[in-house]
Amino acid sequence: MRAVTVVPLKAGTAGLTDLPEPPSSDGPVLVQTLAVGVCGTDLEIIAGDYGWAPPGEERLALGHESIGRVLEAPEGSGLAAGDLVVGIVRRPDPLPCPNCAVGQWDMCRNGNYTEWGIKAHHGYARERYRITPDFLVKVAPELGDLGVLLEPTSVVAKAWDQISHIGARANWSPEIVLVTGAGPIGLLAALIGVQRGLQVHVLDQVSSGPKPQLVADLGATYHHGDIPSTKLAPDVVLECTGVGSLVFDAMDAMAANGVLCLTGVSAKGRSLGIDAGEINRHMVLENDVVFGSVNANRSHYEAAAEALAKAGPSWLARVISRRVPLERWQEAYQRQPDDVKVVLQLSGD
Ligand code: BGC
């Protein structure tokens, strides 16, 4: 079968290659992949900066954001042929750490987890895969292949869940939220903020293209430029770009008892001149929290499924700005100016 694969850590090796049919040892459920979403992590893997092949293999099949249709499922699995499903990205480490042992693989402490399409297991950018039912999430048929947005939504559902836990340390009624970056992660973070009844502001660099309208149609406020020019004092900031200067500007802008959640993975080796004394003082005197959030466990996929079900399908459809058929796979991994979420279609289903 066809798959988009790379030799991890070697730039220029991405290709549409042939992979053997998925082994039965991967699980009893056989799924036909309909589409995969492309994200910054895929581009980093293609650039040779990230990624691990499965043990004993040279190439890794990409794709960790997916939507598929069940072809075969064992009786009693809760799944049946025809169901729309999304595969979870992370698997707990084989000798589970205390978090992995209780299903919190997103909080793995020893780094020995695997991630489909990223770390030591083939991903979903292949025509078929086999999997165990406990790592599949069913998607409402009404959502159709917009379910490809479930994985990125699970990442922000986790971020929001963590923000709530942190906020619960004291009496806290957040009102103003700032999301930095109006890419898919920023937009989906804003969607959940609006669904929580908060006043959401989204900041991005661009002043044209689809992003300003997508934000406005959520009922959120769009800003372009830098954080100080928004004049906001947010209770919550979701940083969705990984740009270092935004992280420090956000720390400076936050209201007292503010919570800043970092979700963007940045490139190493970028330095900034900062006044560490001033930042420390400000954080201490205002009880601020800055924390990082990655990945998602099953509870977050379920929360994400609810968020997508509540969102209008026409808004979600506009988040997918480009669909590329498998035959022209390279185009899916080449950024274009008005891209929001690009999806590679593996099957015309
Ligand atoms: C994925 C996460 C993953 C992270 C780090 C992100 O792009 O959405 O599931 O944990 O990369 O590998």
Domain ranges of the chain: 2-138+312-345, 154-292
Residues 79 and 146: beta-carbon distance below 8 Å: no
* Span 154-292 CATH architecture: 3-Layer(aba) Sandwich (3.40)
Tell me the one-letter amino acid at 333. Answer: Y
- Mean predicted confidence (pLDDT) in 58-64: 98
12-36 pLDDT, tens digit each: 999 999 999 999 999 999 999 999 9
Atom number, ligand 1, closest to the C-alpha of residue 41: 7
CA-nearest residue for atom 6, ligand 1, is: 41
Tokens of 40: 């910054």
Q: Which CATH superfamily is domain 2-138+312-345 in?
A: Medium-chain alcohol dehydrogenases, catalytic domain (3.90.180.10)
The fraction of the chain above a pLDDT of 90, given in percent, is 95
Report whether pLDDT(132) > 80.
yes
| Per-residue pLDDT, 312 | 84
| Per-residue pLDDT, 272 | 86
149-192 pLDDT, tens digit each: 999 999 999 999 999 999 999 999 999 999 999 999 999 999 99
Strands (E), the chain: 2-6, 15-18, 29-38, 60-61, 65-72, 84-87, 90-91, 114-116, 120-121, 128-131, 136-138, 176-180, 199-204, 221-224, 236-239, 259-262, 289-292, 320-325, 341-345
Separation CA 50–CA 42 (nearest Å): 9
Averaged pLDDT of the chain = 96
Give the 3-state secondary structure of residue 251: helix
Report whether pLDDT(81) > 90.
yes
| Per-residue pLDDT, 268 | 79
Report whether pLDDT(80) > 80.
yes
201-260 pLDDT, tens digit each: 999 999 999 999 999 999 999 999 999 999 999 999 999 999 999 999 999 999 999 999
| Per-residue pLDDT, 270 | 81
| Per-residue pLDDT, 349 | 58
Give the 3-state secondary structure of residue 261: strand
Atom number, ligand 1, closest to the C-alpha of residue 296: 9
Tell me the best of 150, 294, 297 to mutate to test the pocket of ligand 1, counting ligand atoms within 8 Å of each CB and taking the most: 294
Band (99; pLDDT cuts 50, 70, 90): very high
Tokens of 111: 């780094």
Pocket lining for ligand 1, CB < 6 angstroms: 39, 41, 64, 89-90, 115, 118, 155, 294-295
264-317 pLDDT, tens digit each: 988 777 888 889 999 999 999 999 999 999 999 999 999 999 999 999 899 999
Q: Which residues contact 96 (CB under 8 A, 6 or more apart)?
A: none
Q: If you measure from the C-alpha of residue 64 to the centroid of ligand 1, how many angstroms do you get, rounded to a whole number? A: 8
CA-nearest residue for atom 12, ligand 1, is: 118
| Per-residue pLDDT, 235 | 98
